[in-house]
């Protein structure tokens, strides 16, 4: 360095560099994320999300769990949320039970408090997966959410994942993720009293209920107004029984031309 400075001074002495004491404005610094190194880690080799056919309540005492069946199953649960961006995983965890639903829930101190997502709990932790293809909006620590990831799936659909123990260190704003890709592990960072995933779904900026939004429409029987003709009588099975008469036809066909066999 010193050698460069000396050689610059020597060059200036020879050529006559203009010297000014005017302070230059500092350049505007922009924060540019360093290029991804795609560090090998547990997420690179972890299997993709399983598709859970059912979701069970952790216990029957939650105030906002929604409809719970006799086996403890969330009766409205289906594996996918149908959204304008396509299907999202409704339970993007390795394995979990439903510990809290969307909407007002009773608090220990009394009264209710709005809960903007669903809580999917497993005290043993486990992987958290991207609910669908998308781009990382945020992968950072965010106050009450703790370790937090938000994914933009396009068409106004976003998903949020809170309280994670950690997330894949390769994830940052703008990174592409694919459906079912492991992105982090369940934890209780931020404002959480137990190990769980706080899962939020946004559609056009509005938080929707991840357990009920985009569910298939319930099957409703509607009265049949159309009348059908009486079924045709079934032909008896006896081999010698007369076959049903062929349906009459008004169309007449010409007799087929019989070819003469040459002698």
User: Judged by CB under 5 A, does residue 168 bind Zn ion?
Assistant: no
From 25-33, 115-123, 145-153, 215-223, span contacting Zn ion (CB under 5 A):
115-123
From 47-55, 87-95, 179-187, 198-206, span contacting Zn ion (CB under 5 A):
198-206
Out of 52, 90, 158, 198, which residue is the one contacting Zn ion (CB under 5 A)? 198
Out of 58, 64, 119, 202, which residue is the one contacting Zn ion (CB under 5 A)? 119
Q: Contact, 49 vs 185, CB < 8 A?
A: no
Rounded to whole angstroms, the Cα distance separating 10 from 222 reads 95
Q: Residue 151's CB: how many other CB atoms inside 10 A?
A: 27
Beta strands in 41-145 (DSSP E): 80-83, 86-89, 97-100, 103-106, 112-115, 118-121, 127-129, 134-142
From 20-28, 91-99, 119-127, 213-221, span contacting Zn ion (CB under 5 A):
119-127
User: Judged by CB under 5 A, does residue 209 bind Zn ion?
Assistant: no
User: Judged by CB under 5 A, does residue 163 bind Zn ion?
Assistant: no
Residue count at the site for Zn ion (CB under 5 A)? Answer: 2
Rounded to whole angstroms, the Cα distance separating 49 from 168 reads 15
Q: Contact, 201 vs 92, CB < 8 A?
A: no
CB of 226 to Zn ion, least distance (A): 48
Residues that bind Zn ion (CB under 5 A): 119, 198
């Amino acid at each position: 360095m010193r050698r460069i400075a000396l050689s610059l001074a020597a060059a200036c002495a020879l050529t006559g560099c203009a010297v000014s004491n005017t302070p230059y404005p500092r350049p505007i610094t922009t924060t540019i994320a360093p290029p991804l190194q795609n560090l090998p880690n547990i997420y690179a080799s972890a299997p993709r999300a399983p598709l859970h056919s059912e979701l069970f309540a952790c216990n029957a005492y939650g105030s906002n769990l929604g409809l719970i069946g006799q086996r403890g199953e969330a009766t409205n649960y289906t594996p996918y949320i149908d959204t304008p961006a396509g299907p999202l995983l409704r339970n993007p965890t390795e394995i979990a039970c439903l510990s809290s639903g969307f909407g007002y829930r009773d608090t220990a101190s009394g009264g209710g408090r709005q809960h903007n997502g669903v809580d999917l709990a497993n005290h043993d932790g486990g992987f958290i997966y991207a609910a669908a293809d998308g781009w990382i909006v945020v992968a950072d620590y965010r106050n009450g959410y703790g370790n937090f990831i938000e994914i933009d799936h396009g068409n106004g659909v976003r998903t949020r994942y809170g309280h994670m123990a950690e997330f894949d260190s390769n994830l940052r704003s703008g990174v592409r993720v694919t459906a079912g890709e492991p992105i982090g592990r369940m934890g209780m960072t931020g404002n959480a009293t137990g190990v769980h995933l706080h899962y939020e779904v946004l559609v056009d900026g509005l938080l929707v209920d991840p357990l009920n939004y985009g569910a298939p429409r319930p099957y409703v029987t509607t009265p049949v107004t159309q009348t059908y003709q009486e079924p045709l009588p079934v032909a008896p099975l006896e081999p010698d029984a007369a076959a049903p008469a062929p349906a009459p036809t008004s169309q007449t066909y010409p007799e087929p031309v019989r070819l003469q066999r040459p002698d």
